[in-house]
Amino acid sequence: MPSARTAVAEAPKKAASDAPLASAKDKVGIMLLNLGTPDGTDYWPMWRYLREFLSDPRIIELNKAIWYPILYGLVLTTRPQKSGANYARIWNREKNESPLHTFTRAQAEKLAPALADLPNVTVDWAMRYGNPSTGSVAERLVAQGCDRLLAFPLYPQYSATTTATANDQLFRALAKMRRAPAVRSVPPYYAEPVYIEALAASIEKHLATLDFEPEVVITSYHGIPKPYSDKGDPYHAHCLETTRLLREKLGWDEKKMIATFQSRFGAQEWLQPYTDKTVERLAKEGVKRIAIVNPGFSVDCIETLDEIGREVRDEFLHAGGEKFSHIPCLNDSPEGMTVIETLVRRELAGWA
């Protein structure tokens, strides 16, 4: 008969042995992470979205004591109406959601069956701002038994304002979990051959449908304030490298394909050259036919469909241009899904 001392000594061992052990069959959750979108185009959905977005210190680096009076005073008083009107022009009426929401969901829905040979993998998708929230999707994947998460920030070029804040939000959610999963994050893929090849193929496919040949093809990227770049954000260099590699892949020179930056906000200097100023200059210099592609966006959204497809188009035509075309993002196209699947399979090495 064992002594009391022996029984006490053995008790912890027995309790430990009762705990479930990790194994190679543990489930892996894949989370596609995109920027975000409002839930509607009316004032309050836009207000909630803009408040979350513009309150992020990764986006606006001003001291809160300076920025918040501006944000809650001027910006959130006037901008929801203007932004809501812009979203209304591109809104997916059938599904009552933004195109970014539609396309990101479609990417997840197509990725899942593409990974059917990996039975321990579950695919989901989330937004940094808005719904479905990063936290709610992380909790859902863990509740489904995922002990490992592969986060895929859908930003080809790294910036603290995109990739970093998406990862920040995920780890904020994990910080609230008693049993947090192991995490990997897909690195920026701005120079990956599969990405460059997909972009080149999509451009060639689109240009083949046009009744004109562009004299200039512009790669337009979302801008960031120049001080962010000066402090060490590598985004500018990543964008220029994507354009260089894409130009090389297509066999074009530096006059045929150029890089610009769009979507500036506020009074400070942003990365240049600016897209709107560039198309105006080109038209005044006699360029009559252009096309614009947005390699920094994984799916079409307000910045591509409305800002480029409407605002920049009108600026070019009003300045004397004659032919304009916006080249769609990779979205959930076969080329786009090849990029996502290839990178996911690589980053799953040893997990699935």
pLDDT tens-digit map of 66-124 = 999 999 999 999 999 999 999 999 999 999 999 999 999 999 999 999 999 999 999 99
pLDDT of res. 25: 58
Name the amino acid, one letter, at 351.
W
Q: Do 50 and 79 form a contact (C-beta atoms < 8 A)? A: yes
Set out the domains of the chain in order of their start, with CATH numbers: 27-189+334-347 (3.40.50.1400), 193-327 (3.40.50.1400)
Residue indicated by tokens 């897209």: 275
Global pTM? 0.91
Q: Quick one: pLDDT at residue 132? A: 98
> Which residue type sits at 289?
R
Does 347 show up as a binding residue in the annotation? no
Q: How many H helices and E strands in the chain?
A: 13, 8
Contact yes or no for 247/257 (Cβ under 8 A): yes
Is 296's pLDDT higher than 50? yes
Report residue 322's pLDDT band, with 50, 70 and 90 as the boundaries: very high
Q: What is the pLDDT of residues 222-259, one digit of tens each?
A: 999 999 999 999 999 999 999 999 999 999 999 999 99
Task: Say whether pLDDT at 14 is over 70.
Answer: no
Long-range contacts of 87-93 (CB under 8 A, 24+ apart): 87/38, 87/41, 87/46, 87/302, 87/306, 88/41, 89/306, 89/310, 90/302, 90/305, 90/306, 91/41
DSSP character string of 210-263 = SSS--SEEEEEEE--BHHHHHTT-THHHHHHHHHHHHHHHHT--TTTEEEEEE-
Confidence of residue 267 (pLDDT cuts 50, 70, 90): confident
Dihedral sign, Cα of residue 209, residue 154, residue 313, residue 48: positive
Res. 291: pLDDT tops 70: yes
Instruction: Write the burial class of residue 217 (CB in 10 Å: 0-12 exposed, 13-18 middle, 19+ buried).
Output: buried
Per-residue pLDDT averaged across 328-337, rounded? 98
Distance CA 165, CA 129 (A): 10
Mean pLDDT of the chain: 93
Return the residue matching tokens 């990365």: 271
Distances (CA, A) of 274 to 68, 101, 233, 322: 27, 27, 18, 20
Q: Residues 322-346: what's their mean pLDDT? A: 98
**What would you measure as the largest C-alpha separation in the chain, in angstroms?**
99
- Show the CA angle centred on residue 186, arms to residues 185 and 187, nearest 5°: 105
User: How confident is the model at residue 22, as a pLDDT?
Assistant: 43
Angle of helix 334-347 relative to helix 193-207, nearest 10 degrees?
A: 180
pLDDT of 15 > 60? The answer is no
Backbone angles phi, psi at 209, to 5 degrees: -90, -10
Contact 284, 319 (CB under 8 A): yes
Q: What local confidence, expressed as pLDDT, does residue 26 receive? A: 83
Cis peptide before 57 (omega within 30 of 0): no
> In Å, what is the CA distance from 15 to each residue of 18, 22, 253?
5, 16, 68
Cα dihedral value 312, 315, 320, 323, nearest 10: 30
Q: Which is more confident, 265 or 215?
A: 215
Rounded to an integer, the average pLDDT of 301-306 is: 98
Instruction: Check the annotation: does 222 bind a ligand.
Output: yes
Residue 352: partners with Cβ closer than 8 Å, 6 or more residues away: 28, 115, 118, 120, 121
| pLDDT, position 2 | 47
Over residues 16-42, mean pLDDT = 77
Question: What span, in angstroms and rounded, lies between the C-alpha atoms of 276 and 283?
Answer: 11
